[in-house]
A and B are shown apart, each in its own frame.
Chain A
Amino acid sequence: MTHDLLVWFAKSYGLFYLIGMSVAVLAYVLWPANKKTFDDAAGSVLHEEDKPWR
């Protein structure tokens, strides 16, 4: 692999896969159906039990 090839790859695909991952994360975070999961998770640390379930 030459330096130029690596630079070309980093500047093209590197850009797109990072944008792709960001879009995926934002979709996951803002997906309306996930809201309940997140709210439950945020509250879960406050009323956790003092014993493991297993």
Chain B
Amino acid sequence: MIAQLTSSERQTALLLCAATMALGLVMLIAGLDNPFGIHGALVMACAFAVMLVVIAGYFAPEPSPTRLRQYYDDPSKVGVVLAMAWVVFGLFVGDWVAWLLVYPDLTFDAGWASFGRIRPVHTTSVIFGFGGNALIATSFYVVQRTCSARLADQVSPWFVLLGYNLFCLVAITGYMMGVTQSKEYAEPEWYADIWLVIVWVTYFVLYMRTLARRREPHIYVANWYYLAFILVVAVLHIVNGLAVPVSFGEARSYSAFSGVQDAMVQWWYGHNAVAFFLTSGFLGMLYYFLPKRAGRPIFSYRLSIISFWGITFFYMWAGSHHLHYTALPQWVQTLGMTFSLMLLVPSWASAGNALATLNGAWNKVRDDATLRFMMVAAVYYGITTFEGSFMAIRPVNSLSHYTDWTIGHVHAGALGWVAMISFGSIYAMVPWLWRSQAMYSARLVEVHFWLAVAGTIIYVMAMWNSGVVQGLMWRTYNESNTLAFSFLDSMVAMRPYYIARAVGGLLFLIGAAVGSYNIWKTLQMAAQSRYRTQADQPEAELDGAAAALPGE
């Protein structure tokens, strides 16, 4: 990988590592007595590890100029591997949290393992660790192919990918030490937030520079979705992250907002994180990998543009549906509810567009588990967006809010839509990236598919049941007009559902582990065949042969 960098790029990489190490050292000294300093040490260690890798490859010969005639896929390859590592870790922690609700002793009396700390470890690992790496890896892949342009440079993709993973690492280790802003999906403290801004702006600039190199004037719609993801996440993150640190040597900070404004900004962020992190970027994947894998153009390109603008216009206003029946003004709640209902139109347009694209290729869906992952993702996208609009209606929300129904809804989206489309895209992309004929085992993809589907259904059904039961128990009154059940009664009633949920999650985890193994074997297989080709052919021929391999 380092061999692909020119010597000046290797020097830049070393400088970046050194600068990051210096930053870590300053943090370590400034925060010796609190977790800020521990994070300084972590930053130093990570930067040092990357530096060692660069040094190890530093004296490799200069890369051949022919590399510029190919796409730059090394960051995508590393991104896929990191995504799979994060998903196995994140699902493992998630299932642990699920079992913790069945067996409360599973914290093993350790503070860092308590529910309030490992739950955000789970959400951050799967959403940002897995989802984020999958988005970065596929976005680099897709933007190059759809623009027929190589990434604009070779250092900034690495800064984006590795810098982003450093953010995730700082985030989850922080939670285990009790460092949190206590904002849903925005838990990391101010210094991690600032770091993410630097990484994210670099990502945006890199993406724009690559788009600027395209040949056709029209930009393929998948890139619109990826770009909306990058741009809007930057805006959301900066505004919601505004905070005043207690001191520059302290991990803690105070939000710039207070009271109901703070809540509104948080849920404007929170729901748009769902929209632009968990939807827009993954729709980018859908609009590229699904037509590609099915061998059919998208059913209606026009509809894909209408859904794009529908989603960007409407989602911005939907966040207040998280604050029904609160101190938030009634009209703002109603606004959020109305826009949530309107969102059904662009959401179903996308889901329908995906399924209509497959109409005529059902035989492929039947035979190819990779394509089936994408189809199920589109179906779950349709189900979840319908459910979301429904739950945003104020009276429905009075039943569903604060119950497990919300958890079921989130997981229908996260497991059924986000993870399924990611796995489908990764299974499609891995053989293309590593230039292997196919995945190591199509049967294992099949196994993963069914484990994922079974796990999701069990999980979501369990949470629907427990959520509705909870909601009803909390609003049942007896003859004397007092609550018929105590909170503890509803806890006891949840136990069977919690067991079912943990089993569903376990199936999903096993599926992801099978997928990781399959990908690992595919990489080994590709490495072996590359070794054989290299042994057989002189260098010049190899360049030609590699370039002649088709993208699919």
Contacts and interface: CB of A to CB of B under 8 A. Distances in A.
B292 interface: yes
**Residue in A21, A40, A41, A51 with the greatest tally of chain B CB atoms within 10 Å:** A41
B331 interface: yes
A49 B215 CA distance: 12
Contact of B148 (A7, A29, A49): A49
Contacts of A45: 145-146, 220, 222, 288, 291-292, 297
Contacts, number: 79
B309 A50 contact: no
Interface residues of A, number: 28
A12 interface: no
B288 A51 contact: no
Contacts of B146: 44-45, 48
Interface in B218-240: 218, 220-222
Interface of B: 69-71, 144-146, 148-150, 213, 215-216, 218, 220-222, 288, 291-292, 295-298, 301-302, 305-306, 309, 313, 329, 331, 335, 547, 549-551
Contacts of A26: 306
A48 B297 contact: no
Given A7-B331, A29-B302, A43-B297, A51 B547 contact: yes
Contacts of A52: 69-71, 144, 148-150
B149 A54 contact: yes
A42 B297 contact: yes
Interface string A15-48: 0001001100110111000000111111111101
Nearest to A49: B148
A40 B217 CA distance: 11
B189 to A, nearest CB: 32
Contacts of A10: 335
B309 A25 contact: yes
Interface of A: 3, 7, 10, 18, 21-22, 25-26, 28-30, 37-46, 48-54
A40 B309 CA distance: 20
Contacts of B313: 18, 21-22
Given A37-B218, A38-B301, A41-B221, A22 B288 contact: no
A52 B150 CA distance: 6
Nearest to A17: B313
Nearest to A3: B329
Contacts of B295: 46
Contacts of B291: 42, 45-46
B315 to A, nearest CB: 13
A50 B550 contact: yes
B314 to A, nearest CB: 9
A38 B296 CA distance: 15
16 contacts: A21-B309, A22-B309, A25-B305, A38-B302, A40-B216, A41-B216, A42-B297, A44-B220, A45-B146, A45-B220, A45-B291, A45-B297, A49-B148, A50-B549, A52-B71, A52-B149
Given A43-B297, A46-B297, A51-B71, 11 more contacts: A29-B306, A38-B301, A41-B218, A45-B145, A45-B297, A46-B292, A46-B295, A48-B148, A51-B70, A52-B71, A52-B144
Contacts of A42: 291, 297-298, 301
